[in-house]
A and B are shown apart, each in its own frame.
Chain A
Amino acid sequence: MSSLEELKLELKKLGQEYAKIKTMPEAERKSFGEKLNARKSAILTAIHKQEEIAESVNIEPIDLTAPFGENTKPFKPTRGTKHPLTTELDRVAEIYRQMGFNVIEARQLDDEFHMFDSLNFPTGHPARDGYDTFRTSEGFIPPAHTSTMQYRALTRFRDHLDKYGQIAVVVPGRVFRNEDVDATHEHTFYQCEGVFVSRDATLGQLLATWQNFFETYYGQKLHIKTQPGFFPFTEPSLEFQIEKPKSLSGKGDGWLEMGGCGMIHPNVLRTAGINPEVYKGFAWGGGIDRLVMLKFGINDVRYFESGKLEFLKEF
């Protein structure tokens, strides 16, 4: 192959050739011009190749495995982070909205009426102790479950029964339990509650609704199973489980407990001013923290409220 200098010289000569076109007979000009153009293009390509080779000699290799270059500072992109719990709560709310549920948020300081009385817990009943509730000196309660919002959800959307024949609400929120904290227990965590009321609500519909939520959330068909449970505010009461999804390396044999559910107790409807002879309802609720822990393989629930950027920057 010719050297770069030779090629450049050839290009110069070729330039002079173009001058000849003027003196040529009209008939030959076209083919002559085309030949010159083809020749020029070939030379230019060859020059480009030569230059590329010449330049590549000057480029020194870098260590592709190093985190940053020689004599430079560590690269620190400024990137914000969203908390994985709030991101997931948004996702959960979004799915329910697409299913037709209204979304309201839970309060973080509530009272005995909303937390227990309106939910058919008999006064002084030991079931109240089962929730390990915190209390303030005034008797207010940082709620131990998002069910504390059921009464509000039912009364606030009661007019929907006349307008649309149903109440459909979900309530995400922060809840609190007086529990010793360890890798799987937090005194502060998040839940999402769902409430549906219509003239012909059934237990079968409840199972279908919650199953569909999880199928959408995990993007696959999922088997479900239930266990009898006990909650004063639902009758029948069930514990709800889903098959461990493939995205969590489920192989079709494991089950995940997702929370409690059941048909709303007639007393709960009655307290909220809804006639249980006419309307039936179902409700369900489960934790959000564990969904997020499973999704991202987080092994310690305490990271969530730690405020540690080392943890948060992962999201």
Chain B
Amino acid sequence: MLISLNELKKLVKITVADDELFRLIGSRLVEIERVEDLAPKYKKIYAAKVIDCEDIPETHLHLCKIDAGDKLNAEIDTEHNNYIQVVCGAPNVKKGMMAAWIAPGAIVPATYGTPEPFEISARKLRGFMSYGMLAAADELALGTDHDGIIELDPKNAKPGDAIVDILDLNDKIIEVENKSLTHRPDCFGLIGFAREVAGVLGQPFDINYDEIEKTIYDNTATSKNANKLIVKISDYSICPRYAARVFTFKSLPERSPYLTADDIFLIKAGMKPISPIVDATNLIMLRTGQPLHAFDYDKFVKIDGSNNPKIGIRLARKGEKLLLLDGEEVELIDTDIVITSGDTPVALAGAMGGDSTKIDKDTKKIIVEIACFSLYNLRKTQMAHGIFSEAITRFTKGRPAFDIEPAIVEALDVFKKLGGENTGSVLDVNANIYDEKGEPKHAIVNITAAEINALLGSDYSEELIIKTLTNTGFKITRKNSELEIVAPLWRTDIHIKEDIIEEVGRLLGFDNLPINFPQRPFVCSEIDPMLAFKTKLRIILSDRLSANEVLTYSFVSKTLQEKVGEDSQDSYQIVNSISPELECFRQSIVPSLLDKIRDNEKTGFEDFTLYELNQVTKKAWGLNDEKVPVMKTQLGLTTFGDYYQAKYFLSELSRTMNLNFELQPIEKSSLLEPLHAAAIYLNDTQIGELGEIKSSILRQFKLTSTISALTINLDSCLSADKKQKTSIKLSKFPSVSRDLTLRVANEAKYIDIESGIKEVLSKISDIIYIIKPVSIFRKPKENHKNLSFHLEIASKTKTLDSKEISDIIEQVTNSLKTLGAEVV
């Protein structure tokens, strides 16, 4: 929404500098996106009278002499007898008109502030010097019209007058972020906005709604109602209030050939002048926040064929179609609200009028509709038909039913001025919106100053609170210790004490609140064990094991899932996904990582490890106690290299996490090559898998190296019992080292041999040992392999001599013979 500072100043006495005003509005009313200062944009643009205008042969151009006042005439063009020569291509340029002239050296306003500002110069066109240019509306950034140059009203402008003065462009335009006023429909009009600005400045606001209400009722009572309007609302929930007035014209007012003050008002608000009737409805909307719509009375009546307009408001029926004002035919949905003549839809309520009741040059009588509709329905209408007009923007904030009166009054005023006579009115069909006494229902909140101060942490006096709220239309009476606060009718957002507290805090400035800290007991705070665990894992994986942490999307494509053999049906599907790439909530991390390897290879990275710690889910896991999907936090890791590379990561994690992982042959895996993969168990439960990715899968990711993956469900690790930390024993006597190479059959398991050695050594009393594998060697095609170990052995009681060592080794080798191992 665009607000003109000059218009605001007409309604509120601004007591602070502009910048301070913008700061106050920003901190106490609404987010300001930007403020545009118009004056510099229109520098060196003047009113100039066209004195002479001749066609330049064989072109569309005209050679003009203009009068921009003696001073400018003499200063700019010394050749042409005290006039300025300008070449103009506009078809409507004519002798005697008052035009807007952009002087040499000025920037074309439409390009002002853009990356390429266009500076007007004096230059030769078709052999004629042209000093500056006569401007069209679009060049002046006063509309989109480029059909001809704009014409100024000679009553308001004389040659040489600066355009900023004539067109009230010494102004600043405040662009408001609409979202930050979602709950304040009353602020979407100049009057409502100004009231809040007055409140922010600590001033009472002049425009008194109570009086306006009375006038309305008077008007309705005394109107002649020559044209009786029959209004039928099918359901008050879609249209709580519907008012209309009929205006009869002798002849419809015509558009002024000049750019008028009303035009400028509309343009500053970002709207386009169209015709006096439409402009009038828009002007009222901009002032009051209440959108209006005008129908051609005769066309309206003719559709139904009756004597008087039978206005119906109902939901559209499926399949109904409506040709709109903009020439587009829409197929209505069953949540659209339509205005009907009899039963025939003639307008899409709140959104756009219909073509069949459009005002044209023959219109003599109009019906002006002032109503409010359900924001829920209009919201859907807006989305379904893609209509984002100024009117529907206001309706979808929820127009208060009792805030239509100002527009009804203004309509009477404005259309009378245009020559219309009010020949029919209807105000209320729905009596239910009034209370038992027939009065409008106000929201009432009882609260004490102490309660207000308690929540804000402030120390405002009751007096200041009363004054502050009264300024913006609240009515307050002291009742015992409490304040009875009656909200104005336009405030549909006031319901509870906190709403009043917000008003006080906001209008007096949240930034003025005293800042202090909550008291805190000396209690150690907790951190989610999973968060702490993930932090620890990142240290191990990134800092210690040189892996690279990535984050990838939680949503993946069906294609990706198919590539790795996951069942997309088991994924939660996003119904409104941005693209098929982001359709399924992921079931595991590794596929997302595989998807990132190739691109990194292309940029020159080799032998890298990727990992991610994140949440995954699948339908098969079901719902938890809260009836939401069970989610698991998973570690996914991919690394260049074979099974043993992935196993290295697992064993390092096992060591640092103090968890006893067990590996067992994997039965089947869609992702891993079963003969080169293992299932990871913790306390007899499978918690993950590791191994080499099937080459058929790698090919689909355009990967040629061997890549292994590791997947661990971390929730199970968190809940598992930690194994006892190995107590490290050291001997004060020197250790002796021996290397031992054993030949075993190809099928022999490494773990059996290692356990065999350990078993013997453990039985020998008083010794401490360390055993490390050194190499596993097999010649191609041989059916046996050599396992080499390095042993460090020390006694706890003495220095071992070589005989004692040899005895120990012999015990080991003898025992291993039973396992089919021979010392080499």
Chain A positions near chain B (C-beta within 8 angstroms): 78-83, 85-86, 90, 93, 97, 99-105, 107-111, 114, 124-127, 129-130, 134-138, 140, 142, 164-166, 168, 172, 174, 176, 178, 180-181, 187-188, 196, 198, 200-205, 207-209, 211-212, 224-230, 235-239, 263, 265-266, 280, 304-310, 312-313
Given A78-B546, A93-B531, A236-B510, also A204-B27 (CB < 8 A): no
Q: Does B29 contact A228, Cβ atoms closer than 8 Å? A: yes
Q: Does B502 contact A136, Cβ atoms closer than 8 Å? A: no
Q: Name the residue of chain B whose CB is nearest to the CB of A81.
A: B548
Q: Name the residue of chain A whose CB is nearest to the CB of B573.
A: A137
> How far does the alpha carbon of A189 sit from the alpha carbon of B378 in the complex, in Å?
31
Could you pull out 30 A-B pairs where Cβ atoms are within 8 angstroms?
A81-B548, A83-B551, A86-B538, A86-B551, A90-B535, A93-B527, A93-B531, A97-B527, A100-B525, A105-B531, A108-B614, A109-B631, A111-B627, A114-B628, A129-B383, A137-B573, A164-B523, A168-B520, A201-B518, A204-B514, A205-B457, A226-B510, A235-B498, A236-B506, A263-B501, A280-B455, A305-B551, A307-B596, A307-B600, A308-B603
Q: Does B549 contact A204, Cβ atoms closer than 8 Å? A: no
Q: Does B576 contact A80, Cβ atoms closer than 8 Å? A: no
> How far does the alpha carbon of A178 sit from the alpha carbon of B593 in the complex, in Å?
23
A172, chain B: closest CB distance, angstroms: 8
In the complex, chain B residues whose CB is within 8 Å of the CB of A204: 456-458, 513-516
Q: Name the residue of chain A whose CB is nearest to the CB of B493.
A: A230
Fill in one digit per residue for B531-556: 1 if any A CB lies within 8 Å of its CB, else 0: 10011001001111111111111110
In the complex, chain B residues whose CB is within 8 Å of the CB of A212: 517
**Is chain A's interface secondary structure helix, strand, loop, or mixed overall?**
mixed
Does B578 lie at the interface of the complex (its beta carbon under 8 Å from any beta carbon of A)?
A: yes
Stretch at the interface among B130-138, B177-185, B354-362, B767-775: B177-185
> How far does the alpha carbon of A201 sit from the alpha carbon of B520 in the complex, in Å?
12
B627, chain A: closest CB distance, angstroms: 7
Does B608 lie at the interface of the complex (its beta carbon under 8 Å from any beta carbon of A)?
A: yes
In the complex, chain B residues whose CB is within 8 Å of the CB of A178: 576, 578
For the complex of A and B, list the 3 residue pairs with the smallest distance between their C-beta atoms, beginning with the closest. Answer: A204-B457, A202-B457, A307-B596
Q: Does B628 contact A166, Cβ atoms closer than 8 Å? A: no
> How far does the alpha carbon of A209 sit from the alpha carbon of B516 in the complex, in Å?
8
Given A100-B523, A227-B180, also A110-B31 (CB < 8 A): no
Q: Does A205 contact B516, Cβ atoms closer than 8 Å? A: yes
Does B665 lie at the interface of the complex (its beta carbon under 8 Å from any beta carbon of A)?
A: no
Does B343 lie at the interface of the complex (its beta carbon under 8 Å from any beta carbon of A)?
A: no
Q: How many A-B residue pairs have CB under 8 A?
A: 248
Q: Name the residue of chain A whose CB is nearest to the CB of B609.
A: A80
Task: Pick the residue among B528, B553, B603 that contacts A309 (CB under 8 A).
Answer: B603
> Which of A127, A134, A225 lies at the interface centre, i.e. has the most chain B CB atoms within 10 A of its CB?
A134
Q: What interface size band does chain B fall in?
A: 35 or more
Q: Name the residue of chain B whose CB is nearest to the CB of A238.
A: B510
Q: Does A126 contact B455, Cβ atoms closer than 8 Å? A: no
Given A105-B530, A134-B574, A136-B572, also A266-B496 (CB < 8 A): yes
Does B26 lie at the interface of the complex (its beta carbon under 8 Å from any beta carbon of A)?
A: yes
Given A202-B456, A235-B499, also A309-B28 (CB < 8 A): no
Besides A86-B538, A130-B179, A309-B548, 13 other A-B contacts (C-beta < 8 A): A86-B613, A93-B531, A102-B527, A126-B396, A137-B575, A174-B554, A202-B457, A203-B455, A204-B456, A224-B511, A228-B28, A305-B552, A307-B552
Given A103-B528, A130-B179, A235-B496, also A85-B572 (CB < 8 A): no
Q: Which of B23-47 contact A (CB under 8 A)?
A: 26-31
> How far does the alpha carbon of A101 sit from the alpha carbon of B525 in the complex, in Å?
6
Fill in one digit per residue for B331-345: 1 if any A CB lies within 8 Å of its CB, else 0: 000000000000000
Fill in one digit per residue for B206-246: 1 if any A CB lies within 8 Å of its CB, else 0: 00000000000000000000000000000000000000000
Q: Does B615 contact A107, Cβ atoms closer than 8 Å? A: yes
In the complex, chain A residues whose CB is within 8 Å of the CB of B30: 227-228
Q: Does B531 contact A142, Cβ atoms closer than 8 Å? A: no
B355, chain A: closest CB distance, angstroms: 29
Does B438 lie at the interface of the complex (its beta carbon under 8 Å from any beta carbon of A)?
A: no
> How far does the alpha carbon of A213 sit from the alpha carbon of B541 in the complex, in Å?
29
B660, chain A: closest CB distance, angstroms: 25
> How far does the alpha carbon of A125 sit from the alpha carbon of B617 in the complex, in Å?
30
> How far does the alpha carbon of A100 sit from the alpha carbon of B527 in the complex, in Å?
11
In the complex, chain A residues whose CB is within 8 Å of the CB of B180: 227-230, 239
> How far does the alpha carbon of A101 sit from the alpha carbon of B376 in the complex, in Å?
39
A132, chain B: closest CB distance, angstroms: 9
Q: Does B599 contact A211, Cβ atoms closer than 8 Å? A: no
> How far does the alpha carbon of A140 sit from the alpha carbon of B603 in the complex, in Å?
39
> How far does the alpha carbon of A235 sit from the alpha carbon of B396 in the complex, in Å?
21
Task: Pick the residue among B506, B575, B605, B614 that contacts A135 (CB under 8 A).
Answer: B575
Q: Which of B680-717 contact A (CB under 8 A)?
A: none
> Which of B516, B534, B550 lies at the interface centre, i.e. has the most chain A CB atoms within 10 A of its CB?
B550
In the complex, chain B residues whose CB is within 8 Å of the CB of A238: 510
> How far does the alpha carbon of A99 sit from the alpha carbon of B518 in the complex, in Å?
10
Q: Does A310 contact B547, Cβ atoms closer than 8 Å? A: no
Q: Does B574 contact A82, Cβ atoms closer than 8 Å? A: no
Q: Does B456 contact A203, Cβ atoms closer than 8 Å? A: yes
> How far does the alpha carbon of A152 sit from the alpha carbon of B514 in the complex, in Å?
31
In the complex, chain A residues whose CB is within 8 Å of the CB of B595: 307
In the complex, chain A residues whose CB is within 8 Å of the CB of B496: 235, 266
Given A82-B542, A176-B554, A236-B498, also A140-B629 (CB < 8 A): yes
Q: Does B631 contact A208, Cβ atoms closer than 8 Å? A: no
Q: Does B572 contact A310, Cβ atoms closer than 8 Å? A: no
Q: Does B505 contact A236, Cβ atoms closer than 8 Å? A: yes
In the complex, chain B residues whose CB is within 8 Å of the CB of A140: 572, 628-629
B800, chain A: closest CB distance, angstroms: 40
Q: Does B457 contact A226, Cβ atoms closer than 8 Å? A: no
Q: Does B526 contact A309, Cβ atoms closer than 8 Å? A: no
> How far does the alpha carbon of A297 sit from the alpha carbon of B647 in the complex, in Å?
38
In the complex, chain B residues whose CB is within 8 Å of the CB of A235: 496, 498-499, 501-502
In the complex, chain A residues whose CB is within 8 Å of the CB of B501: 235-236, 263
In the complex, chain A residues whose CB is within 8 Å of the CB of B520: 99-100, 166, 168
In the complex, chain A residues whose CB is within 8 Å of the CB of B544: 80
> How far does the alpha carbon of A27 sit from the alpha carbon of B804 in the complex, in Å?
59
In the complex, chain B residues whose CB is within 8 Å of the CB of A86: 534, 538, 549, 551, 613
A210, chain B: closest CB distance, angstroms: 10
Q: Name the residue of chain A whose CB is nearest to the CB of B383.
A: A129
In the complex, chain A residues whose CB is within 8 Å of the CB of B268: none
